[in-house]
Structure 1
Amino acid sequence: MLIKSYIQSIEYYFPQKKEYNSTEDKITGKIGIYERNISTENEIASDFAVQAAEKLFQNSDFDKNQIDYLLYCTQSPDYILPTTACLIQERLKLPTTCGALDFNLGCSGYVYGLSLAKGLIETGIAKNVLLLTADTYSKYIHPQDKSVRVLFGDAGTASLISGMHSETDYIGPFVFGTDGRGANNLIIPAGGSREPISQESGIAIQDSFGNTRSRQNLYMNGPEIFNFTLQEIPLAFQTLLNKSSHEISDYDLFVFHQANKYMLEHLRKKLKIESEKFSIQMEDCGNTVSSTIPIALKREWANQRITLNSRMMLLGFGVGYSWAGCDIVWHENYS
């Protein structure tokens, strides 16, 4: 019997500081986000990843000495170098025999992480993989740029992926997609090697919609991101259905990247998914980038919308452009 990977446990962590979207603003009801957790000046993304991991070890009673690989998905690293995963290994006191790496992806990142964990476990390279996600987009957003400020919140998550002898695939199959032509539609232009930070890049300018930002701030072309999502995600959805040999009716729940309610509802209706089978979990935390899917999974388990052996489809999409989807079956030993 082959080794199959499965999600053994998930936890998440939010910073304590809150920002609230105005209930009098019609955009708030449209996007379905009423409050967001925001990092303070002294908090960084890896702090939230570490907090989530410590919570996971405490609540699952799992011996962290059994972790033999650490994957960290972030676009908010501690430093250009060293790799933040190496710093997290030391902070968590994981074994020095543990592999550790960062990967820079946004809203598709969690599904990518599951694919990496599955590959490590099912090829015998690792037995227990700790998959962490965390971002602090709030630090990249100009306070007077309402186009993105009302959407994004900060968070960290930890998922424990392990292996067992089974004939059942608990994670997979997968579909992936990339279209770098859309990179400029969700970007921080300045700060990397292509455009180093300069005095000019820090000058803030107001756009025609009244939003202020510099080239050191996050920029999002909302209409183009929306069009990309409605064009590519239905194709990925159908490809995954074909690859898994399942019908929509075979799934107990669909958990997509929690971008905003307006976008998700358009997708749900276009894909003809019943609202009872569609997860929306963002109104009190916002779009937390690579953390949205694991947060939704943990909450849906707590709400008992996920039960033992539930079959789910996960789809992440966004910055890059990058998208990824997979099937998962909720293993009965989930803690």
Structure 2
Amino acid sequence: MKAKIKAISYYLPADVLSNDSINNQFPEWSADKISEKTGIYQRHISGKDEFSSDMACNAANKLFEEHSIDKRDIDFILLCTQSPDYFLPTTACILQNKLGIPTSCGALDFNLGCSGFVYGLALAKGLIIAGIAKNIMLITSETYSKFIHPRDKSNRTIFGDAAAATLVSTEGIAEIMDFELGTDGSGAENLIVKNGGMRHPLINGKDKEDQFGNIHNDDKLFMEGSKIFNFTNEAIPRLIKSILKKHSLENSDIDLYVFHQANKFILNHLRKKIGIEENKFYYFLKDCGNTVSSTVPIALYEAIKEKKATGNVLIAGFGVGYSWGSAILKF
């Protein structure tokens, strides 16, 4: 039995944070400087009372409407989020009720960030191959903006909120081939929200200013940018080499590369280091920023719409954890 991507839709919140708005708050960072460095011109921000389940519902309903999918056919929900509505219950269970999907449906959350979509496809394929489910709705939904300190200008320029819904089934537009997955938890503290869990339950962090004028607080998102870059620089070229070898393919056999849309600087660096032709490398972050686990499905949706997703498409996600994953999609 084969597992295939049948359809993708996504949702962006209504509120927009533009580079001009960031520049107004931080005059030393011009809008042009931000866009030149990151490739991002604006990012969408979830509303004060808008949370991961709300965005996930919007993405799922768009999936049903855009692709004429009957919600009664969904027999499993996989939700990738690091910003769940609650510690418990599972947000995927809340989604089943909100969406009116039959109670015979399985549902679970998994906590993973920028590699989450690739891992989610691996889980979905496993459920199909094992005969456990036939129509799996894989949702990625993050409200990272709620983790970011208002005076952390670096992270505010990069991250946006979004949700994407992908139907994985036994038939569809792209067969999901083999995977390469990896983990290195030694880098956990380089991208972390330290307070709020069981190990550090109290929300009592103190503001600290770094050498670049960013404010950090253990209650908020912390990212050690240089170490994240070094990790990506070392791990991702190896990942791409491994996934190509597993499929007995060369770089030239890949028709399109869709990487996690971290920021344009990192993407350009990886593209050149791996030796990928620019016309085979897909970018989609200008108007939404780094949406964590939703970057790959959003980029895939747009690539499909532009008729650029054909033949062999290599997807790759990497980041928080550290974690990384790649797969080949055959269109």
TM-score, with normalisation over the residues of structure 2? 0.95
1:62 positional shift: 1.3
Pairs within 5 Å for 1:1-335: 3-22=1-20, 24-164=31-171, 170-199=175-204, 201=205, 203-307=206-310, 310-330=311-331
CA–CA separation in structure 1 for the residues paired with 2:238 and 2:219:
34
CA–CA separation in structure 2 for the residues paired with 1:169 and 1:311:
9
Percent of aligned positions that are identical: 53
Equivalences, count? 322
Contact 1:4–1:169 (CA<8 Å) still a contact in 2?
no
1:303 positional shift: 1.4
Render the CA deviation track for 1:12-64: whole Å, top value 9, x for unaligned. Answer: 00000000114544232111011000011111111111101001111111111
Render the CA deviation track for 1:105-137: whole Å, top value 9, x for unaligned. Answer: 000000000000101111211110000000000
Contiguous gaps of at least 5 residues in structure 2: 21-29
CA–CA separation in structure 1 for the residues paired with 2:35 and 2:61:
34
Contact 2:5–2:174 (CA<8 Å) still a contact in 1?
no
Root-mean-square deviation (CA), in Å? 1.4
SS in 1 for 2:108: strand
Contiguous gaps of at least 5 residues in structure 1: 331-335
CA–CA separation in structure 2 for the residues paired with 1:4 and 1:220:
38
Q: In terms of mean alpha carbon deviation, does 190-199 or 53-62 score higher?
A: 190-199
Contact 1:122–1:163 (CA<8 Å) still a contact in 2?
no
Q: In terms of mean alpha carbon deviation, does 189-198 or 16-25 score higher?
A: 16-25
1:216 positional shift: 0.4
Q: Runs (4+) of structure 1 moved beyond 2 Å?
A: 22-25
Q: In terms of mean alpha carbon deviation, does 189-198 or 86-95 score higher?
A: 189-198
CA–CA separation in structure 1 for the residues paired with 2:76 and 2:258:
26
CA–CA separation in structure 2 for the residues paired with 1:311 and 1:239:
16
SS in 2 for 1:28: helix
CA–CA separation in structure 2 for the residues paired with 1:49 and 1:77:
11
CA–CA separation in structure 2 for the residues paired with 1:239 and 1:190:
36
Distance 1:25 1:169, change over 3 A: closer
CA–CA separation in structure 1 for the residues paired with 2:315 and 2:94:
29
